[in-house]
């Protein structure tokens, strides 16, 4: 009976004919009053897992959400789907707060969104006056000090059980290592929770790592963005200055872009984010301050122009692409010197154990960037998951643009220089030795006298650095981060050095810009002109309702409409993502656009 009710609500309110993987189990457990802890990747449908039970359980679901912008988007989306939803945060007036409390105490809310800070301001006592169905803790990794985005204000959530010992608690996150998972369960005092570990795999994302050269980084970014003309994307930069410079460069070259960083006035940040969410601009250039408050479903690419601090952050940030399930690209531009910026931040950490942990996390991120092995396998392995295939076909390594090169001789030259300098120096000094530099340090240390000096004159600095990176990725050498990045040989490295083992690596056949397009299986054809007309309709509806366009319809829904040309209610309701309420609100307008298009192009459907 419960499952039938859940499926009815799934179709009527949310417009979906089927649950996504794991959703039904989570929904069923919450409806039955169980605690639940769900690790589900971005785009996997976490919000539906608590929004749907909120309709069927008596009382109000209290959603703990970290950012005001995220709350507003989720409330807008819930209201569009016909749920009774509200938020309480500093952005609303005293009168609006009074209205929300009246609805809460009269049991007239399905969902109430709160920031964790508000719970510390006596909100627990207020909530005790209402009928609470269950708590849903979003971005639950923020409660763990082992997590990549720990927030002290989340620790107040440990008091939920004290004030509400018999109310179910559910927790959701997109990424968590085993240690973080255990910490979340402990801190939230979850009682025999249903544990859902969905796959970390995002099959619609194409991962690519490209070598970054400072003299052409802006041009590489521009070339990529121009190839994605009209699509939404996020470009992450490591500093505020780089954010401003990149945004200015793109604007000067005709791209609709805006900056976002903590140094901007709050009103400007909010306005820029709204412009991006509302499709008024296509590109946002940001520091990591542009974070979890993004619920936009049609982001088609993410560019990291500097290396992230760890794989968890990289996974979260790339996860903002392709939330609608459509193909999206995630490109990392990597230069070894960019590690220095992250190490500068790490060096400011006072606690030695925390510093050591962050160095370890950064080293794992660097190994991901320099590796010549499948990107998807590397990400999944980091989170303790095995990928069932040896080739994902949707990363730069697996897409067919690689060739195997034997670099044994050059690797031996580099490692010989490391050994002959007592394994006491970092990459730059070793490269200077093998290339025969006459700089002051080389001469003073008499490293121009060692046998390997100048043996790699045929190598450019970038070539020599590439060899060192590949030796690091293969565990042939180690870099001691806390000892000035000095390089040391491993047993494998000594086997290569002394000729007992060859050293071959996969290298890209094609240079940067030609490898940036994802190699996904052929998408189903759709009428591109109709799609653009539907986007215009969606934008006008969204502007009139003061909500982001993706809240009205996702790009995936518009593409399906542009493929199937529905002209009746039953045909419209067959499209996943369109329920009864959406049809009542917008169905006739959509059908009018389709009919006008077919009047002008009567053979449009046959041409697909």
- CATH 3.40.50.920 corresponds to the domain 205-401: no
Same-fold call for 2-197 versus 403-509: no
Neighbours of 291 (CB within 10 A): 19
What backbone phi and psi angles, to 5 degrees, belong to 289? -60, -25
Q: Which residue has the tokens 């690689």?
A: 402
Q: For residue 231, with 0-12 CB atoms within 10 Å meaning exposed, 13-18 middle and 19 or more buried, which class applies?
A: middle
DSSP one-letter string for 380-443:
HHHTT---SSS--SSBTTTTT-EEEEE-HHHHHHHHHHHHHTTT---HHHHHHHHTT---HHHH
**CA–CA separation, 581 vs 279, rounded Å?**
24
- The answer to whether residues 311 and 361 touch, using CB atoms and an 8 Å cutoff, is yes
- Give per-10-residue mean pLDDT for the chain (608 aa): 80 88 93 94 86 95 83 85 90 88 94 89 90 94 78 88 95 85 93 91 93 85 92 94 96 96 91 92 91 78 94 91 91 88 87 86 90 91 89 88 87 96 94 95 94 94 90 90 86 95 81 47 77 96 91 93 95 92 93 95 82
CATH number, span 528-600: 1.10.150.80
- CATH 3.40.50.300 corresponds to the domain 2-197: yes
Residues 6+ apart with CB under 8 A from 361: 148, 309, 310, 311, 312
Residues in the chain: 608
Q: Dmax of the chain from CA atoms?
A: 85
Q: Would you state the CATH architecture of domain 403-509?
A: Orthogonal Bundle (1.10)
Residues 6+ apart with CB under 8 A from 604: 527, 530, 565, 597, 598
Identify the bridge partners of residue 194 per DSSP, sorted by sequence position: 36
Instruction: Give the 3-state secondary structure of residue 100.
Output: helix
What are the sequence ranges of the domains in the chain? 2-197, 205-401, 403-509, 528-600
Tokens standing for residue 285:
């250039």
**CA–CA separation, 437 vs 432, rounded Å?**
5
pLDDT at 512: 45
Half-sphere exposure in the Cβ direction for 216 (13 Å, CA): 10
Residues 6+ apart with CB under 8 A from 564: 571, 574, 575
- The answer to whether residues 218 and 228 touch, using CB atoms and an 8 Å cutoff, is no
**CA–CA separation, 289 vs 272, rounded Å?**
13
**CA–CA separation, 591 vs 530, rounded Å?**
11
pLDDT at 292: 59
Instruction: Give the 3-state secondary structure of residue 214.
Output: helix
**CA–CA separation, 365 vs 362, rounded Å?**
5
- The answer to whether residues 274 and 76 touch, using CB atoms and an 8 Å cutoff, is no
């Amino acid at each position: 009976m419960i499952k039938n009710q859940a499926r009815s609500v799934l179709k009527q309110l949310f417009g979906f004919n089927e649950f996504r993987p794991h959703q039904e189990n989570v929904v069923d457990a919450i409806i039955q009053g169980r605690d639940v802890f769900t690790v589900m990747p971005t785009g996997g449908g976490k919000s539906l897992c608590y929004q749907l039970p909120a309709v069927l359980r008596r009382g109000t679901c209290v959603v703990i959400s970290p950012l005001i912008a995220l709350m507003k988007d989720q409330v807008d989306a819930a209201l569009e789907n016909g749920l009774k939803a509200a938020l309480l945060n500093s952005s609303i007036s005293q009168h609006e707060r009074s209205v929300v409390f009246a609805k809460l105490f009269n049991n007239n809310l399905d969902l109430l969104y709160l920031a964790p800070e508000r719970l510390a301001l006596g909100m627990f006592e207020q909530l005790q006056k209402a009928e609470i169905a269950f708590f849903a803790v979003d971005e639950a990794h923020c409660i763990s000090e082992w997590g990549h985005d720990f927030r002290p204000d989340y620790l107040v959530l440990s008091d939920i059980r004290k004030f509400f010992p018999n109310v179910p608690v559910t927790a959701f996150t997109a990424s968590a290592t085993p240690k973080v998972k255990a910490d979340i369960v402990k801190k939230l005092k979850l009682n025999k929770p249903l544990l859902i570990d969905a796959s970390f795999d995002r099959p619609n994302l194409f991962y690519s790592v490209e070598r970054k050269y400072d003299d052409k980084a802006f041009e590489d970014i521009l070339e990529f963005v121009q190839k994605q003309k009209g699509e939404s994307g996020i470009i992450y930069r490591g500093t505020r200055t780089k954010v401003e410079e990149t945004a200015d460069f793109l604007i000067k070259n005709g791209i609709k872009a805006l900056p976002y960083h903590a140094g901007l006035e709050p009103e400007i940040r909010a306005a820029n984010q709204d412009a991006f969410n509302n499709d008024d601009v296509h590109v946002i250039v940001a520091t990591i301050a542009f974070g979890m408050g993004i619920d936009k479903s049609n982001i088609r690419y993410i560019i990291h122009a500097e290396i992230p601090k760890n794989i968890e952050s990289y996974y979260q940030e790339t996860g903002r692409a392709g939330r609608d399930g459509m193909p999206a690209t995630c490109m990392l531009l990597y230069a070894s010197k960019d590690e220095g910026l992250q190490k500068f931040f790490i060096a400011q950490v006072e606690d030695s154990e925390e510093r050591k942990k962050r160095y370890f996390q950064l080293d794992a991120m660097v190994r991901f960037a320099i590796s010549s092995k499948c990107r998807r396998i590397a990400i999944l392995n980091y989170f303790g998951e095995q990928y069932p295939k040896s080739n994902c076909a949707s990363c730069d390594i697996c897409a067919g643009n690689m060739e195997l090169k034997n670099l044994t001789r050059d690797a031996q030259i580099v490692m010989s220089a490391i050994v002959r300098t007592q394994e006491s120096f970092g990459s730059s000094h070793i490269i200077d030795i093998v290339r025969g530099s006459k700089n002051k340090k080389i001469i003073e240390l008499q490293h121009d006298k060692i046998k390997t000096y100048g043996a790699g004159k045929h190598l450019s600095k970038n070539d020599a650095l590439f060899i060192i990176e590949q030796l690091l990725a293969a565990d042939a050498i180690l870099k001691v981060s806390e000892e000035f990045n000095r390089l040391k040989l491993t047993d494998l490295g000594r086997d290569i050095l002394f000729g007992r083992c060859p050293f071959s690596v996969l290298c890209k056949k094609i240079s940067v810009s030609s490898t940036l397009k994802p190699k996904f299986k052929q998408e189903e054809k759709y009428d591109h002109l109709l799609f653009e007309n539907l986007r215009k309709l969606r934008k006008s509806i969204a502007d009139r309702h003061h909500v982001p366009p993706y809240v009205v319809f996702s790009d995936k829904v518009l593409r399906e409409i542009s493929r199937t040309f529905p002209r009746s209610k039953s045909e419209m309701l067959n499209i996943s993502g369109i329920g009864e309420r959406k049809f009542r609100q917008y169905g006739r307008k959509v059908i009018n656009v389709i009919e006008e298009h077919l009047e002008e192009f009567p053979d449009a459907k046959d041409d697909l």
